[in-house]
Structure 1
Amino acid sequence: MDIKIIKEKNNAPLNRRELDLNIGFDGATPSRDQVKGKVAAMLNVPLELVIVQRMKNEFGRQAVSAYVKIYENAERMKQVEAKYVLKRNALPEAEEEAAEAPAE
């Protein structure tokens, strides 16, 4: 997976950085978790502060356009982001723990 940053914006009022990415890949389209992990490693930020807002596959190409937000802290992220976006970007371990808790 090859990630290129097309545009980077610092959004100070919301305590986040906003990135427009172009992602080239071979084989299957990468998942949100794979993109989050690669972006977090590339920019040296905590994985739980990365939100993949949108991924759009380009027809006929092995490429995806993505819009990613990187927050400075988790509290601000929970205040700003919609619940469905947070749920969509939840870490897999957190989802498993949440599913097990009500069953007990």
Structure 2
Amino acid sequence: MQITITKEEENKFLERKEITGNLLYQGTTPSKIILTEEIAKRYNAEKNNVVIKNIKTKYGLQEGTISAVVYSNEKAKKRSEPITKHQKGGATKKEEGEKK
């Protein structure tokens, strides 16, 4: 897997770096976890402070584009990023059905 950064912007107000890049890979599309680890290594950041916004692959080719955000600290991330259901620890659909 090879990541080439095409655009990097420093957003001082939100305390983060906004990154766009090209992705070359073999086999299946890399998961967000693998990409998070790779970007964290490159920017000397903690894995928890890296958020992959999207991965867009090109049909029939093993390449695509990614956009990610690297926060300077956990507090800045909590201010800007929305909290999803699985991060809240909310009930799953199966558990909700059992309660009724």
TM-score normalised per structure 1: 0.78
* Matched letter for residue 22 of structure 2: N
Partner residue in 1 for 2:78: 78
TM-score normalised per structure 2: 0.81
Q: CA–CA distance in 1 between the matches of 2:76 and 2:44?
A: 19
Q: CA–CA distance in 1 between the matches of 2:49 and 2:76?
A: 10
Question: How many aligned positions are there?
Answer: 89
Partner residue in 1 for 2:14: 14
* Matched letter for residue 73 of structure 1: N
| Structure 1: gaps of 5 or more residues | 88-97, 100-104
Q: CA–CA distance in 1 between the matches of 2:43 and 2:11?
A: 17
Q: CA–CA distance in 2 between the matches of 1:13 and 1:41?
A: 24
Partner residue in 2 for 1:90: none
| Structure 2: gaps of 5 or more residues | 91-100
Structure 2 residue 82 is matched with structure 1 residue 57: no
Identity of aligned residues (%): 27
